[in-house]
């Protein structure tokens, strides 16, 4: 995490390009953290910079940003929130959803402040993130499962 003036950040953004099947990391600079505070602020900056104004919300030019703020994984009440942001297919402009649960805490514990997903996969894949590492894994065997619970169980067995 950043020391001194910007505590609470890991300093890393995970970049996932589904079209190229590529996972990379980008530095989250102290300047970005200062100017674009929190998950929604960081997501807004990324989407504004990277998604063309006339991009199809359902097309590969749109990006999906999953981001958390500096208070995540602390003891501050109500800090366990995440932001999921993209250009909305409903409105064609900004769309965001804020949520709670373990996802935000796990993202911060894994060493990232945000995940940016771009492009379109040619085949079913899922993103595996653990201890500062990430990779795209084949999900063909998960296609057609009865429901999300069955899919989750299959992935859990695979990761053991």
Q: What gap in Å lies between CA 9 and CA 108, rounded to an integer?
A: 8
* Spatial separation of the C-alpha atoms in residues 153 and 44, rounded to whole Å: 34
pLDDT for 67-76, tens place per residue?
A: 999 888 778 8
Q: Do residues 9 and 1 lie in contact, with contact meaning Cβ atoms separated by under 8 Å? A: yes
As a whole number of angstroms, the distance between CA 151 and CA 65 comes to: 23
pTM of the model: 0.90
Strands 133-138 and 125-130: antiparallel
The fold of 12-122 is Aldehyde Ferredoxin Oxidoreductase;  A, domain 1 (3.60.9)
Please write the tens of the pLDDT for every residue from 74-132: 788 877 889 999 999 999 999 999 998 888 889 999 999 999 999 999 999 999 999 88
The DSSP call for residue 140 is G
Mean pLDDT for all residues in the chain: 91
| Phi, psi torsion values for 14, nearest 5 degrees | -85, 125
């Amino acid at each position: 995490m950043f020391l001194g003036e910007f505590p609470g950040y890991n300093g890393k953004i995970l970049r996932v390009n589904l079209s190229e099947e590529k996972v990379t990391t980008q530095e989250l600079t102290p300047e970005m953290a200062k100017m674009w505070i929190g998950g929604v602020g960081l997501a807004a900056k990324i989407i504004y910079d990277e998604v063309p104004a006339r991009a199809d919300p359902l097309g590969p030019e749109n990006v999906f940003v999953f981001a958390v703020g500096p208070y995540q994984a602390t003891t501050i009440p109500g800090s366990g929130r995440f932001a999921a942001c993209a250009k909305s297919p409903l409105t064609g402009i900004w769309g965001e959803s804020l949520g709670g649960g373990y996802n935000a805490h796990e993202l911060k514990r894994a060493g990232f402040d945000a995940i940016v997903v771009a492009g379109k996969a040619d085949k079913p894949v899922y993103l595996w993130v653990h201890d500062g590492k990430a990779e795209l894994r084949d999900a063909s065997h998960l296609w057609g499962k009865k429901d999300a619970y069955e899919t989750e169980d299959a992935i859990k067995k695979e990761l053991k």
